[in-house]
Amino acid sequence: MRVLVDIGHPAHVHFFKNMIWALRKNGHVVKVTARHKEVAIALLNAYHLDFEDRGEAYTGLFRKAIGMIQIDIRMLLIARDFNPDLLIGIHNPYIAHVAKILGKKSIIFNDTENVRISSLLTYPFATTICTPDCFREHVVPDKHVLFQGFKELAYLHPKYFQPDPGVLKRVGLSEKEPFAVVRFISWGAIHDRTLQGIDRNERTAFVSELEKYGRVVITSEGKLDPSLEKYRLRIQPEDMHSVLSFAHLYIGEGGTMATEAAVLGTPAIHVEADADGRPTGEMCGNFTELKTGYDLMYYYASHSDALKKAVEILKNRDVKDEWARKRDVLLMDKGDITAWMTDFVENYPQSFYNQRGGNVR
């Protein structure tokens, strides 16, 4: 089988890498294309995954619209040359468009609700849409397949990931010293336009309060105020999960990193509000399950409410042991996502009908 996988975000590298290696080991030909985003490219290089650059990242509605056409054309030319049997991506309109044009099959993975424009540009053209079983948004039933787990377990399950204590030493941290990871995002995506996180004018005070209870390191997509630059975590992107695993707390605006922390057994607090002032976590199936089902994550609209919970967690000397036990329960409930993905792709489209109790057509 010939498979084309497109990478649009750094987290996609992690999600697909084990599946790509497994498919190649099993004799399949896998071509990787990637959006020109610095961290994603660095990760692909770090994991020695050969790829073809399919274009830069665009900002602003007008440039994104023009960019979509340009990337569609670029991806179409790449796909025609490669001639894949199957095209795969995460909530990826380009994969869906190109597969439809070429008369090929596409598999789209997604775990993010309430991104209407992206869904409208993707779902109608996709052949199959795979989501976690906690997904709360309606998907056309004839295309929809559910898997049991969180996409982050495709790369953070202990079968595939063990944290490296040496990473902490390289960045000046220690397992013996409690520390918190704070995440600030750029708010550049289309679906971020109506959302808000930690008030930029309150960031310094926010970090100063956390620092009373341990070290604080910051990972940020953009520039930081001079007062916060000293907290910036300077690290190779492939080492970030080791830092998250040893941290006593993750708190920030990044949803993917919040879920990663939670499934690693690190207390996670997501800070984000919609236009009506509600915590967006209430509308995300993976967030609500991690909170109500496993007590591994919390989410707040207000950074002041989030900060109160953060202080409570940082004061708890047994928090890592408590969260490790909660994570063990999670791992007993959820499956091996990489193994499921690999099997689903290798046996597609029969696997789709098997999932739905039917036969291939």
3-class SS letters over 16-60: HHHHHHHHHHCCCEEEEEEEECHHHHHHHHHCCCCCEEEEECCCC
Q: CA angle at residue 215 from 174 to 328, to 5 degrees? A: 60
Confidence of residue 222 (pLDDT cuts 50, 70, 90): confident
> pLDDT tens, 94-113?
999 999 999 999 999 999 99
> pLDDT tens, 177-213?
999 999 998 745 544 455 688 888 899 999 999 999 9
Confidence of residue 33 (pLDDT cuts 50, 70, 90): very high
Q: Is residue 249 located within the same domain as residue 188?
A: yes
> pLDDT tens, 289-310?
999 999 999 999 999 999 999 9
How many domains, the chain? 2
pLDDT score at 195: 67
Residue 148 lies in a domain: yes
Q: How far is CA 48 from CA 110, 121, 243, in A?
A: 25, 31, 22
The enclosing domain of 313 has a CATH number of 3.40.50.2000
> pLDDT at residue 217 above 50?
yes
pLDDT score at 223: 86
State which amino acid sits at residue 229: E
**Full-model pTM:** 0.92
Of 219, 228, 289, 205, the residue nearest 253 (C-alpha): 219
- What is the percent of the chain with per-residue pLDDT over 90, rounded to a whole number? 83
- For residue 339, the Cα-to-chain-centroid distance in whole angstroms is 18
Q: Is residue 172 located within the same domain as residue 295?
A: yes
Detail the DSSP E strand segments found in 282-329: 297-300
Residue 360 lies in a domain: no
Q: Is residue 171 located within the same domain as residue 283?
A: yes
Q: Are strands 179-184 and 144-147 parallel, antiparallel or unpaired?
A: unpaired
Please name the helix (run of DSSP H) or strand (run of DSSP E) that holds residue 215, with its range, or none.
strand 215-220
Phi first, then psi: what are they for 90, rounded to 5°? Answer: -110, 115
pLDDT score at 194: 59
Residue 149 lies in a domain: yes
Residue 76 lies in a domain: yes
Residue 361 lies in a domain: no
Q: Is residue 148 located within the same domain as residue 177?
A: no
Residue 171: CB atoms within 10 Å: 14
Of 127, 165, 169, 132, the residue nearest 147 (C-alpha): 132
Q: Is residue 170 located within the same domain as residue 88?
A: no
Residue 47 lies in a domain: yes
Residue 109 lies in a domain: yes
What SS3 class is residue 85? coil
Residue 361: CB atoms within 10 Å: 7
Lookup: tokens for 160: 């595939």
What is the domain extent for residue 62? Answer: 2-156+335-355
The rounded distance, in Å, linking the Cα atoms of 12 and 264 is 18
- What is the percent of the chain with per-residue pLDDT over 70, rounded to a whole number? 94
Q: Is residue 282 located within the same domain as residue 294?
A: yes
pLDDT score at 340: 96
Residue 98 lies in a domain: yes
Q: Is residue 348 located within the same domain as residue 290?
A: no
- What does the CA dihedral 217, 219, 223, 227 come to, rounded to 10 degrees? -10
pLDDT score at 185: 86
State which amino acid sits at residue 99: A
Give the 3-state secondary structure of 143-206: CEEEECCCCCHHHHCCCCCCCCHHHHHHCCCCCCCCEEEEEECCCCCHHHCCCECCCHHHHHHH
Q: Is residue 224 located within the same domain as residue 296?
A: yes
Q: Is residue 344 located within the same domain as residue 316?
A: no
